Structure 1
Amino acid sequence: MDALTHASHELIDKSVDYITLPEELYDIERRFNELKSESIKNERLARENEQKKDELIVYLAHDIKTPLTSMIGYLSLLDEIKDMPDIQREKYINVALDKSYSLEDLINELFEVARYNSEKIILEKEDLDIRLMLEQIIDDFYPVLVEQEKNIHLNQDEDITLYGDADKLSRVFSNVIKNAISYSKDHTDINIDVHSMHDDAIIEVINKGKEIPKEKLNRIFENFYRLDSARTSRTGGSGLGLAIAKEIVELHHGSIFASSNKEETVFTTTLPKN
């Protein structure tokens, strides 16, 4: 008992690398060291995530200045030059509007990062129609699709009802579809195929874009992992969207994974219907 009491204190003692118990307590010793190793690993990951979070907030704060400065510049010109030609005025208004959308994206990212780890995901389940949910999400992306001259085709031959959290699952597919739009080639279509398999619903979001290397496919669902290192409004997200999507899907006892080749990239989500 004394040995176990001492070992329990060593579990949280950072100066102790390995816990040793009498030979007859070998199984307990092994389990204690597994717990200690897991604790050290989790602590290291938490520190790394926190560091990435802090760095991302700094980047976002810096990036916000760029569209804001541009907006102020163009709006000031519109205010100062009262007799500006209509064509030039329309151009300046369009530029200022485009910069305001970029600013909105960056601010939303900043809120998402700041909110990370401060909210616990609690599901409020209800019966929901997959087709209706996806159609509403697609409608939300209409302005972006028009701008990039892309289309989304929803292919679903049967009515499928899920028992899940409508708001949270909408967040999942908004993130996945946004990702598909961002990384698809110009003037290409995005397909969403929905079908049943036994007691599950399968939702595949397919886009034609650059192949994602296998080593990156294994990491895209990690917190703060960004496929592109360059920060752009189209592809430079916070790196939380897919990580949150995976967490929500797994809370529904489902799964999500990605596959990619030279022709297309597919995000496959499997969710139990009941």
Structure 2
Amino acid sequence: MVVQIIIILLLAIIIGLFINFAFIDGVLQAPFADAFVDFCEKVLQLDYFAAQNAYNVLFQQNKPLWLAIGFIVLLLIIFYIALSRFTRYFHQISTSITMLADESDKEIQLPEELDFLEKKLNDVKNKLEKRARDAQEAEQRKNDLVVYLAHDIKTPLTSIIGYLSLLDEARDMPIEQKEKYVAITLEKSNRLEQLINEFFDITRFNLQSIVLEKDLIPLNYMLMQVADEFYPLLAPKGQKAVVKIDEEINIYADGHKLARVFNNILKNAIAYSDSNSTIEISAKSENNQTYISFTNTGKTIPPEKLNMIFEKFYRLDNARSTQTGGAGLGLAISNEIVQAHGGTITAASNNGKTVFTVMIPTNS
């Protein structure tokens, strides 16, 4: 646009100079003067000398004025052209923003001069479309999960009612049998409590706001404590959790929320690790950033699933039963907690080894 305006200005100057040197002081001066004098004599009824005097006064003595008038006229024309183009640009931009608001499927197209803006608007459009798709998919996963949980709740609840009914009806049953029924009822009650808690997690997820209460945390001790607490889950499959840290690391973070992150990652690693395997927990600090890694051996996670593993309500186990997985919120919540600390959480899976890496600023 600026280049076009400069070109038009140069043309205006050239035209103005051409008029001056051609019609007033140049090769066309005599024909132009004769035509003007003839016009004055025939139309304005002036005599020849008066007409020639009028020509001298109007043109020969006022050359700068005529140049200025011609230049102003040309400037007005240029201004009108530029204003028209800007008005058209604003209209096209307004139409493009309306397309964004209306979530139109059409690609946004702008004139070549606005190519940079076209790319940015299309980038925004693509991001909004992706967010809408992700939200829709998450909502669908949530609805599916609620249906599955509701179905699975019936199983332990039916068992609880059945065994309690037997205990109520046969009050004189043998002690051994009664103890067996009570143990089964307790086990089913714990499972029912777990499923109900998952319902509460689903409800709370969109309502929670993460507020950090930071303090200086000895990371070595914290990770060893997390590993020890999971011994009851590790032992049945012959698994082990080993902490390997070569240096003493202290980080400034929210200990309770960070422990929840590590618990979620370790719980996920246990669920998807091979029996009799070792889950390795390591950490290192460099450039004011601390990296904590959880490495487990098991099935390789496909890339398409790995990209979605931190999305809410997404579960690696797509089976209908919820026995092997929760509401699909653990890693999503972990991701939000880590991001609230100004860090990142990533996952990589190759050749049967899966590594979750948490990066936390050491002194954030």
TM-score range, shorter chain: 0.7 to 0.9
Task: Give CA-to-partner distance per residue, 1:109-162, whole Å, 9 cap, x none.
Answer: 211222232223333322222234334434543443455554433333433211
Measured after TM superposition, the shift of residue 187 of structure 1 is 4.3
Instruction: Please list, as runs of the form range in 1=range in 2, the aligned pairs for 1:59-70 lying within 5 A after superposition.
Output: 59-70=148-159
Aligned counterpart, 2:83: none
Counterpart code for 2:336: E
Specify the SS of the correspondent of 2:244: strand
Aligned counterpart, 2:218: 129
Aligned counterpart, 1:25: 114
Within 2, Cα distance between the matches of 1:47 and 1:214? 21
Are the equivalent residues in 2 in contact too, given 1:162–1:273 (CA < 8 A)?
yes
Structure number with greater CO (CA < 8 Å, separation at least 6) is: 1
Counterpart code for 1:94: A
Specify the SS of the correspondent of 1:206: strand
Using a 3 Å threshold, how does the CA distance of structure 1 residues 267 and 26 change in structure 2: closer, same or farther?
Answer: closer
Using a 3 Å threshold, how does the CA distance of structure 1 residues 209 and 50 change in structure 2: closer, same or farther?
Answer: same
Within 1, Cα distance between the matches of 2:94 and 2:310? 40
Is 1:211 the counterpart of 2:300? The answer is yes
2:343 aligns with one of 254, 258, 263: 254
TM-score, with length taken from structure 1: 0.85
Are the equivalent residues in 1 in contact too, given 2:273–2:298 (CA < 8 A)?
yes
Using a 3 Å threshold, how does the CA distance of structure 1 residues 30 and 129 change in structure 2: closer, same or farther?
Answer: same
Aligned counterpart, 2:165: 76
Aligned counterpart, 2:198: 109
Is 1:58 the counterpart of 2:147? The answer is yes
TM-score, with length taken from structure 2: 0.66
Aligned counterpart, 1:98: 187
Measured after TM superposition, the shift of residue 234 of structure 1 is 4.4
Within 2, Cα distance between the matches of 1:16 and 1:219? 24
Task: Give CA-to-partner distance per residue, 1:75-134, whole Å, 9 cap, x none.
Answer: 332333323333322322222222222222212221122223222333332222223433
Are the equivalent residues in 1 in contact too, given 2:157–2:189 (CA < 8 A)?
yes
Larger of the two Rg values belongs to structure? 2
Within 2, Cα distance between the matches of 1:75 and 1:94? 11
Within 2, Cα distance between the matches of 1:214 and 1:16? 28
Task: Give CA-to-partner distance per residue, 1:7-30, whole Å, 9 cap, x none.
Answer: 333321234623343443332233
Task: Give CA-to-partner distance per residue, 1:202-235, whole Å, 9 cap, x none.
Answer: 3222333333334433332233221111244542
Is 1:180 the counterpart of 2:269? The answer is yes
Are the equivalent residues in 2 in contact too, given 1:105–1:233 (CA < 8 A)?
no
Aligned counterpart, 1:87: 176
- Greater CA deviation, 191-200 or 30-39? 191-200
Higher helix share: 2
Within 1, Cα distance between the matches of 2:166 and 2:144? 34
Is 1:40 the counterpart of 2:129? The answer is yes
Are the equivalent residues in 2 in contact too, given 1:126–1:166 (CA < 8 A)?
yes
Name structure 2 gaps, 5 residues minimum.
1-86
Aligned length: 274
Name structure 1 gaps, 5 residues minimum.
none
Aligned counterpart, 2:138: 49
Is 1:141 the counterpart of 2:230? The answer is yes
Aligned counterpart, 2:39: none
Q: Aligned-pair RMSD on alpha carbons?
A: 2.7
Specify the SS of the correspondent of 1:185: coil
Aligned counterpart, 2:52: none
Instruction: Please list, as runs of the form range in 1=range in 2, the aligned pairs for 1:223-262 lying within 5 A after superposition.
Output: 223-261=312-350
Specify the SS of the correspondent of 1:11: helix
Are the equivalent residues in 2 in contact too, given 1:201–1:271 (CA < 8 A)?
yes
Aligned counterpart, 1:268: 357
Within 1, Cα distance between the matches of 2:236 and 2:105? 59
- Greater CA deviation, 196-205 or 161-170? 196-205
- Greater CA deviation, 239-248 or 2-11? 2-11
Counterpart code for 1:205: F
Are the equivalent residues in 2 in contact too, given 1:200–1:271 (CA < 8 A)?
yes
